[in-house]
Amino acid sequence: MMPFDAAFNPVWESLREAVLESGWRCQRADDIWENNAIIQDIVELIARSKVVVCDLTGKNANVFYEVGIAHTLGREVVLITQSAADVPFDLQHLRHIQYLGNSEGLEQLKESLLDRLRFLMDR
């Protein structure tokens, strides 16, 4: 889950690479169109997922809403952000992966997410 903004495309590519390397499938809501309402596609995508990666960068209200849905459905949620200040109070008790938006930071994000996904696969 992340804002639909071209600025996040490099982040999306890093996430997708990590997920594919781990042997899992990676999708975003804009990859599918099964229902007329996009929120229904999002809810169904979350419901089918074992792990949901959510980028809190920029404090996007839609992402926070989707984090809540994922938690309600009992999904494993991996929080990522470019700034710890973007993690709201109610989520600050949860660990998150902080990254920089440059090429080195995105490579580190990929490696950190890959480590987390490998751990989750073994559970």
CATH for 12: 3.40.50
CA distances from 97 to 62, 74, 78 (A): 19, 20, 8
pTM (predicted TM-score): 0.92
Q: Is residue 104 part of a domain?
A: yes
Q: Which domain holds residue 31?
A: 6-121
Within-domain flag for 114: yes
**Is the separation of the CB atoms in 22 and 81 below 8 Å?**
no
Residue 1: inside a domain, yes or no?
A: no
pLDDT tens digits, residue range 63-121? 999 999 999 999 999 999 999 999 999 999 999 999 999 999 999 999 999 999 999 98
Mean pLDDT in the chain?
93
| Domain count along the chain | 1
